[in-house]
Amino acid sequence: MVTNQAVLFLIFVINGIAIGLLFDVFRILRRTFHTSDMVTYVEDILFWLLTGCILLYSIFTFNQGEIRLFLFIGILLGCILYLLTFSRWMIKISVTLLTFLKNTIGKVLAIIFYPIQLVVKWMKKIMKKPISFIIINLRQFSTNIGKMGKKLIQKPKIQPKKG
């Protein structure tokens, strides 16, 4: 019985380490990709949902759904151990690697899309005058139609009969 509880304690220490690692994944993403507050809220909700699923799965799988205080002590100990030992290095290495990949992919995409940007710029230059001509004429046409509509809607003035 005691060995069983020691194994359970170790399993939940590993769960705590996994939760700490999951927490770092979200921290790494936030440091690498600057996101809006709304995305941060969604990430936080996702973190807690995943953490809850990990814990529920582990509690039902390894402890038949029994909640014991030593399980939560193991989780807390695992999180603290991970955050005090590996977290700093994991974040530093991952942020450096992801930033390098992000910059490299950005430069490759800029090179790939450069000819397309040139073609779009050239097309804008060529099409600017014809499109401006069409827009100006459409505005004049709509103004003239509006004036004609107002004349049709106005009540005709009744002239008194002479007589």
What does the pLDDT read at residue 1? 67
* Per-chain mean pLDDT for the chain: 89
pTM: 0.68
Confidence label for 127 from pLDDT (cuts 50, 70 and 90): confident
d(CA 128, CA 124): 6
Whether residue 10 is predicted with pLDDT greater than 70 in this model: the reply is: yes
Whether residue 18 is predicted with pLDDT greater than 90 in this model: the reply is: yes
Q: State pLDDT tens for residues 100-115.
A: 999 999 999 999 989 9
What does the pLDDT read at residue 137? 83
What does the pLDDT read at residue 163? 55
Whether residue 38 is predicted with pLDDT greater than 60 in this model: the reply is: yes
Whether residue 157 is predicted with pLDDT greater than 80 in this model: the reply is: no
